[in-house]
Structure formats: C-alpha cells, structure tokens
Amino acid sequence: MSNTATAQRGTLRIATAGSVDDGKSTLIGRLLHDTKTVFEDQLAAVVKASRRYGDGETNLALLTDGLRAEREQGITIDVAHRYFATPNRSFIVADTPGHAQYTRNMVTGASNADVAIVLVDARHGVLEQTRRHAFIATLLGVKSIVVAVNKMDLVGWDQAEFDCIAKEVTEYVRALPTPVPVTAIPMSALLGDNVVAASVHTPWYDGPPLLDWLEQFDAYPRGEVGGRLHVQRVIRPQGGEFADFRGYAGVVNGGGLAVGDAVTVLPAGTTTTIRAMHRAGKPVESAAAGHAVVIELATKVDVSRGDVLAMATSGTSPIVGEIVDADICWMVEQPLVVGSRWWFKHGSRTGRATVTGIDYHHDLVSLAQEPTHELALNALGHVRLHLSEPIVADRYADNPAGGRMILIDEATNSTAGAAMITAVIG
C-alpha cells in the first residue's frame, strides 16, 4: 500500500462493546500481542500476573485490565485506551466495560469511535447488554459495527451458530433509528483465530480476519458543517510586551478554520474575521478539527467563555436556543422524571436544565418507542430540556462535538446522563 493511501486512511478509533465475559479485553490483548506492539517488559509483567491470578496460560486480557480490582475479578471496570499500529495504519482502541452498571464508561469509550466491535459469546448468543451497546454505539455515531462472534472454538466452529448470531445482530442494527453497516467475523480471541491471521478452522468463512478489515475500512469524514470554536478561555495579559493582546482559546470542531475567515460570534451574532491564529505557541495559518488554538480577531468585539466562533459562510449554522430535544442515555440510579433539575454542560457553557418532557423510551428488544413518565438506570429515551441560558449547538448527527451535552447531578457532581441533541428551539 502506498504511503499516500495510508495517510488518507489516518488513525482509526475503535470501541469494543458487548456483554460481560464476551472477551473484549482478550481481543484487544491479542491485537496488541500479534501486531508486536507489546514491549518485552509489559509481556513479562502479564506472564507474572497470569501466574499470580491462577491463569494456566498467559492472559492477554491483563494488557488492558490495569486496575487491581479488574485483574482480581477478571472484569473491565474503567475505560482503557490502547494504541497500536501496523505498516498500513495506526489505531486507538477503547476497551469498555460489559457490566450494565458501567454503561456510562462504555458511553465514554464509544463517544469518539469510528467503529464499534460488538463481541458476542458464541455459546450464549445475543444478550440484552449486546443490544444496548449496539444501540448506544449507533446513537453515538459510529460508522460501522463489527460483530465479533467470539469463542467459536467452544462451539466446535459451528457455522450454523455463527450464521444465527450474525443474522440476529445484523437485523437488529438494521432496525435501529440510526442504522449502520454490519460485518460479522467468527473468531477465537484467546487462540488468535481470525483476529490477525485467517483461521484454518473456518473454511466456510470467506471474509477477512479482523485486522485486515480494520486496515481497509474507510473512516470517511462527516460532511463538514464549517469550523466552530467553543471559547474555553479569554487570554488577556494586561501588561508587559503583550499588553494589547486579546486571544480566544479553544478546540476547533466541525471543520477547519483559517486566518482571514469570516466568523460570527454567537449567541451575540456579531461578525468579524480571524486576524491571527496560534497553536502550541507558534503562529499558524490554519487549523483542522481537533486542533487546540488561540484565535485573534480583527475587530474588538465582546467574546466570553462559552461563546462560539462559527464560520459565517458555513452551509449549516449552529442554532441558538434554550429548549433542547435530545436522545439520552440515563446513567444513575435516580430516575429522570419530568420537572427534575440538573446542571448541564455543553461545550464550555454550563447552567441549569429542567426536564419538561419525556417523549418515550426505547424497548431494547422490540425497538418500540414506548411512552413513559420516567427513565431508569441505563434506559435510552428522548427528552425535552429547558435551559437556564441559551446554548449554541448543532444537531449531533451533523456535528457530534457541537451536539453533545451532559446532565450533572447537583448534589454529587456526577454525570447523570449523556445527551445527543436532535433539535434546538430558540
């Protein structure tokens, strides 16, 4: 493969998902081991830990299960990010928990993923948590799902078992509100079959092993909505050599920004242009989505933390409003009910949010949108929020960075819900 083609593909962000003990950590450990991304001292530590915790063979899951409680219980609790590369591509993979009580951690791990690998234990088939994770992954905007039918060696590499699971998950994802393409691969993460190299045990499978599929996947970018910058800090030295300097710091999202671009300051609506841009302390002419920059404007306008600089010429402008409709994943024991109040955080703006309506919750089996008066722990639903102050937002489907919001428990300061904005009303 040419260097040009490799550069165009860029880094692929992956999230593992699925139920407990489906083999997510083992799969990632196998990818790290077989791509020779593990240092000798890391592997030696895993071998030693495997003996300590009674594993008969080297437990590759320990490459990602870094917490002591994870190693003792053989489960994943927190999100672990691992980095590996092949000559063709680099990867960032998030090992997310399978337990229902750690659904919030799975949401965190999948929120920036291009691809979700949903593991299914071939012995147990598709479970409720499998469906929940597939549903959440599509809501969060992954571009494709790989169904890794794992532990095929424990069912004698039975093609009928594989076909049944692959069909069930494919039909389920196809029926979701935001369906994505699905690819199913039979494998054994423990033994390495169809992970990095093709398996001799699946002559009936004519697709690629997992790593080949990941290397070739085209993580095409979303249609750009135009550059935005949520202002995180106003930089004003007020003395010395830079007494007249006024800059606005934040992370670019949506699309790129460049010196000379016309931008609108929202929610005020004032229009100006970018006079200069700095990144890592050096002047630059442009910045892409994901770059942290400091922007100087050509005219002195009122800009504060929480404001948004948006390209004035972009095809889709962000919406300013105080009423928000959103899909939400509820992540605490306390139910979400109409009339309840929470702190919200959107970009760099915070305030209070009141729940004024719960339209429905999703039944994970039938996929029916069922009317309800509350959302319980781990429920997925659609709500309406009234905010104490206007936000500048995009629809999540158009620009995830501008369309995500969290609700925060006022008493504990813990994240209670992850919301994907579907509409903003002024």
pLDDT tens-place string over residues 204-240: 999 999 999 999 998 765 656 889 999 999 998 877 7
Residue 56: pLDDT over 60 = no
The residue type of 21 is D
Question: How many structural domains comprise the chain?
Answer: 3
Beta-ladder partners of 197: 193
The answer to whether the Cα torsion of 351, 305, 418, 63 is positive or negative is negative
For position 99, what pLDDT does the model report?
53
- Strands 415-425 and 319-330: what pairing? antiparallel
- How many whole angstroms separate alpha carbon 296 and alpha carbon 246? 6
Point out the domain boundary residue: 216, 249, 280. Answer: 216
**Over 90: is that where the pLDDT of 181 sits?**
yes
Q: Are 410 and 346 in a shared domain? A: yes
Output the CA–CA distances (angstroms, integers) from residue 397 to 122, 224, 326, 369, 394, in the order listed: 33, 11, 11, 20, 8
Written as six digits, the tokens of 277 are 């841009």
Residue 222 within any structural domain of the chain: no
State percent of the chain over pLDDT 90. Answer: 58
Q: Are residues 306 and 337 in the same domain?
A: no
Please tell me whether residues 27 and 71 are part of one structural domain.
yes
Do 146 and 117 contact (CB within 8 A), yes or no? Answer: yes
Distance between first and last Cα of the chain: 50
DSSP string, 150-209: E-GGGGTT-HHHHHHHHHHHHHHHHTSSS---EEEEE-BTTTTBTTTB--TT-TT--S--
Q: Are residues 323 and 421 in the same domain?
A: yes
Q: Are residues 121 and 39 in the same domain?
A: yes
What are 160's two structure tokens? Answer: 């009928």
The reported pTM is 0.82
Are residues 108 and 163 both part of a single domain? yes
Structure tokens at 60: 């590759």
The CATH number linked to 39 is: 3.40.50.300
Has residue 39 got a pLDDT over 90?
no
Domain hosting residue 359, numbered range: 319-425
pLDDT digits (tens, 9 = 90+) for 326-364: 999 998 899 999 999 999 999 999 999 999 999 999 998
Q: Are residues 341 and 358 in the same domain?
A: yes
Q: In the block, which residue shows the tokens 């605490």?
A: 332
The answer to whether residues 83 and 152 belong to one domain is yes
Identify whether residues 190 and 287 lie together within a single domain: no
CATH code of the domain containing 378:
2.40.30.10
Is residue 94 domain-shared with residue 141, that is, in the same domain?
yes
Determine the Cα–Cα distance for residues 115 and 117; give it in Å rounded to an integer.
7
